[in-house]
Structure 1
Amino acid sequence: MQSPSRRAFLVGRRAERSPWEAFLARLRRAAQGQVYEFSTPTGSARLVPGHMQDVYQARALCHEYGVTLALDGIPSSAPQDDTPVLWVEPGSAMARHERLGADDPRWFVQPGCLVGELESAGLPQFRDQPPHLTVAAWLADRRGCDWDRGQTAASGLVHALVLLADGTQANLGAFGVDNRKPLDNLRVQGMIPRLFELNAGVMADVSEGPGTCWDARYRLDALSPAAGQTLNLSHLLLGHGGELGWVEWLVFDERLGAPADRPYESRYGNRPGSGGVRQSCDQAIRALFDPDGLFPAQGQRFDHSYGVDA
């Protein structure tokens, strides 16, 4: 019988795997869905999850190996050339959308559901949006979620379950005297006071600017809703660029949704750039949600005339 040492001498020692190769091998063993590798200098692959458990596994492995976890399908997606990246595409395995009850105006929606399906179901906020987008990509798109300042309730979004970079699941929804559910989560408990502190500073800054467009990167104006509307923490995710977390599921209320009053072409191009207060605020919000930089630092690319990425 040939000894292992002699066999190694005859065939040569196996080359040691690079961290990217080790990451990919472990992901393929763990995932129920499909994994596709791209040929890039830094390492790039796409995961189409077969189950939410695949995303949990991917998050843990990305965190362990220093791989960026990026949502696939965002319009004007920014390239991730400087770091190994795993693009995660929510596909048909996580594409349910259904009413919460027979006569309930609320809809449970998974991230892989297509926008066209939601428009066909009668949710008005998806009117004139690209029907091929997943709802996760729509939620991340700053252009598609560009309601006026304080008007985020028009998204119809009332609740979101979000997987944060550290593996925490955050329930984000209505917040006020009659609804304290977000405080059930210790991680969110710690974030809320800082978010309100940031909101106080940035709203003082934007109140001095022209117009009603929101030109900061993240929708902190969700904490200062227009009169008669409910403060809802899930609205912080509107237009988040895939930079704050991974959305597991959403709830929309069909009674609340409304499309933006002005089309995309008239809302962009001459928008004033966001000021220093808003830029530092954006950085602080990202640090609260993703202090370790698991998600892209910039998930969506825009022309410099659009202030958030200038």
Structure 2
Amino acid sequence: MQSPSRRAFLSGHRVERSPWEAFMTRLRRAIQGKVYDFSTPEGSARLLPGHMQDVYRARALCHEYGITLALDGLPSANPRDDLPVLWVEPGSAMARCERLGDGDPRWFVQPGCLVAELETAGLPQFKDQPPHLTVAAWLADRRGCDWGRGQTADSGLVHALVLLSDGTQANLGAFGVDNHKPLDNLRVQEMIPKLFELNASLTDQTASSEALWDGRYRLDALSPVEGQTINLSHLLLGHGGELGWVEWLVFDERVGRPGSRPYETRYGQRQAASDTCAIDDAVRALFDPDGLFPSRGQDFNHHYGSDI
């Protein structure tokens, strides 16, 4: 029996491809890494990039075709089941982990580096964290990145380069009177004042004395406790894979301690305050107005039956 495509070829008729099939064809032509199609009705595939250029190309195609770009390996990952999704796994091709220089306490880390390697290197914030996670998955996991309110500096994270939904690369790091490097980027110039406004409105609405942070995004990084300074990279801590794709990170081994990991329980017990949800949505809209990344990258509801 002849296949439909062969019959179409012999008869001169062109078979219409679905948007997903067209997307997969162009993705395979554009990348040097590996891509696996799961052949689901909605469309689902996994990309193992050969280098960062593969992620750039995948982002552009996902944006064009309306495909969700989701971080693979994130605990309790939950992109919408009714939408096509490309899972991107930061593998060994982007797993460098090295000091910035001889004797330098700062470490350059790519997203595919495993937590086990960072713990072995002696970075205290990775002690007793799941060793199999990539640092990208650890950074996105709200449970692992659960420090007290205003204490995000305990993460030891000092800088991050993140790819946003429109292809912009945002340098996020220390921010203050003497350091405005993040504002070199026009897109970030527009984002940062609005993030500070959202943080101010949230502080007015909630008890800033509460020890734990309940939001989906760490706006409290903009209101650090005494002795700690504002660092814009901390906005990515526990972001659920919802704000962008992390290209690389810098950690300081002199600071850092593991998060407390009670966020999952708090998530289930939290009241669904509409004002807080609106601020969470506003933060996401600033980072990902195109809806390229999952809107709810992590789901703890199957444990606790709550929604925020």
- Shorter-chain TM-score: what band? over 0.9
1:1-310 equivalences in 2 (<5 Å): 10-207=10-207, 211-260=210-259, 262-264=260-262, 268=266, 271-273=269-271, 275-303=273-301, 309-310=307-308
Which runs of 5 or more residues in structure 2 are unaligned? 1-6
Give distance in 1, aligned partners of 2:271 and 2:47: 35
Q: CA 1:229 to 1:281, structure 2 compared with 1: closer, same or farther past 3 Å? A: same
Give distance in 2, aligned partners of 1:9 and 1:236: 53
CA contact (8 A) 1:175 1:231 kept: yes
Deviation per residue, 1:31-83 (Å, 9 max, x gap): 11000000211100000000000000000000000100000000011143111
Give distance in 2, aligned partners of 1:132 and 1:169: 27
CA contact (8 A) 1:111 1:249 kept: yes
**Aligned to 2:301, what secondary structure does the other structure show?**
coil
CA contact (8 A) 1:245 1:295 kept: yes
TM-aligned CA deviation for residue 205 of structure 1: 2.1
What letter is aligned with 2:288?
A: D
Q: CA 1:257 to 1:306, structure 2 compared with 1: closer, same or farther past 3 Å? A: farther
Q: Give the match for residue 3 of structure 2.
A: none
Give distance in 1, aligned partners of 2:280 and 2:305: 12
Instruction: Give the % identical residues.
Output: 75
**Aligned to 1:247, what secondary structure does the other structure show?**
strand
Deviation per residue, 1:213-241 (Å, 9 max, x gap): 11111000000001010100000000000
CA contact (8 A) 1:215 1:273 kept: no
What letter is aligned with 2:200?
A: A
TM-score (normalizing by structure 2): 0.93
CA contact (8 A) 1:274 1:307 kept: no
TM-aligned CA deviation for residue 211 of structure 1: 3.6
What letter is aligned with 1:300?
A: Q
TM-score (normalizing by structure 1): 0.92
Deviation per residue, 1:100-158 (Å, 9 max, x gap): 01110000000000001000000000111100000000000000000010000000000
**Aligned to 1:90, what secondary structure does the other structure show?**
coil
CA contact (8 A) 1:150 1:222 kept: yes
Give distance in 2, aligned partners of 1:248 and 1:270: 31
Give distance in 2, aligned partners of 1:224 and 1:308: 28
**Aligned to 1:298, what secondary structure does the other structure show?**
coil
TM-aligned CA deviation for residue 202 of structure 1: 0.7
Q: CA 1:103 to 1:285, structure 2 compared with 1: closer, same or farther past 3 Å? A: same
Q: Give the match for residue 3 of structure 1.
A: none
Deviation per residue, 1:272-299 (Å, 9 max, x gap): 3352221111000000000010001111
**Aligned to 1:77, what secondary structure does the other structure show?**
coil
Cα RMSD of the aligned pairs, angstroms, is 2.1
Give distance in 1, aligned partners of 2:11 and 2:31: 32
TM-aligned CA deviation for residue 16 of structure 1: 1.2
